[in-house]
Amino acid sequence: MPIKAICTDIDGTLLDRNRELSPRTRKAFASLPPEFPVILASSRMPSAMIHLLKDLRRENNPLICYNGGFVLPAYSSSQPLPIRSVWIPVEVCQQIAQLSESTNIHLSLYSENSWYAPKMDAWTAKEEHATKVKATLLENSAVLSHWKQNRSGAHKVMCMGPAKEIQALYEELDERLSSVLHLYRSKDTYLEIAPKPISKATGLREVLSKLDIKMEEVIAFGDNYNDIELLSSVGLGIAVENAVREVKAVAREITASNTADGVARAIEKHLL
């Protein structure tokens, strides 16, 4: 079956060691027809993905944000209505915040295109540098109070801190709230939390339903646990060499690492 679209993870997959698009990657994407859909799928917020679409000259392409919790159609200068939006209820967010209160864990809250950090610390600075997005500095309690009044919640909760404390929080949340939350350890010092019903694969299905493209007609790339369902659901799932073992196990093919232009090499092999 012919490949009609690309869906790719960003960090650890598409970007190089400097978290940039390499010249070879830019050239590979530029060689594709302008109408060929390129769909970025990430735990990032929209603002942390839009600049990559611009660099790839794909500004009119969809975005799967927050691991599928916030899916946007072709992006424009004005905020488009999401194809899908799934929150962590504010009451659950409050439980997460309470469990982290007596620790050294930094807890950031994300909703739509807003990132709320409690203060400017090393964790906030690190994320700002990596994602090229500025945080709104506001105490967690103030954000949660506002969300409670508006009956909303978080598309993502990001916990960053000492590895032992992150592990302890992970275990506590897994015991108490695993039925309603996805808990994802992207690093030993990071814990990313999303609503249970979503994934990159569910987000991709929503996007493809608007494009009249089948999952079997997509080539997808990934490296980490939140890419497993995505790679196993498409026609050609490809893991980068630096991917975790579980991702490689479901992939139909393994390309070079993200630091060796793995995605570009696969595009050149299969599409150019």
Phi-psi domain of 2 (left: phi exceeds 0; alpha: psi -120 through 50; beta: other): beta
**What pLDDT score does 118 carry?**
96
Task: Specify whether the CB–CB gap between 221 and 240 falls below 8 A.
Answer: yes
Q: Can you give the pLDDT at residue 117?
A: 97
Residue 25: both structure tokens together: 């990657």
Mean pLDDT, residues 41-63 taken together: 93
Residue type, 270: H
pLDDT digits (tens, 9 = 90+) for 233-264: 999 999 999 999 999 999 999 999 999 999 99
Which pLDDT value is given to residue 76?
Answer: 56
The stretch 26-49 carries a mean pLDDT of 95
- Are residues 190 and 158 in contact, defined by beta-carbon separation less than 8 angstroms? yes
Is the model's pLDDT at 28 over the cut of 80? Answer: yes
What residue spans in the chain does CATH classification 3.30.1240.10 cover? 87-195
**Running DSSP on this structure, what letter comes out for residue 167?**
H
* 244 CB neighbour count, 10 Å cutoff: 15
Does the pLDDT at position 22 exceed 90? yes
The CATH class of the 87-195 domain is alpha beta
Q: What integer best gives the mean pLDDT of the chain?
A: 94
Question: What is the share, in percent, of the chain residues with pLDDT greater than 70?
Answer: 98
Are 64 and 203 contacting, i.e. CB atoms less than 8 angstroms apart? yes
What is the rounded (10 degree) CA torsion for 84, 155, 17, 253?
-50
Joined together, the tokens standing for residue 35 give 């109408």
pTM for this model (two decimals) = 0.93
Is the domain 5-84+198-270 a CATH 3.20.20.140 member?
Answer: no
Residues of each domain in the chain carrying CATH 3.40.50.1000: 5-84+198-270
Residue pLDDT, tens place only, 146-180: 999 988 899 999 999 999 999 999 999 999 999 99
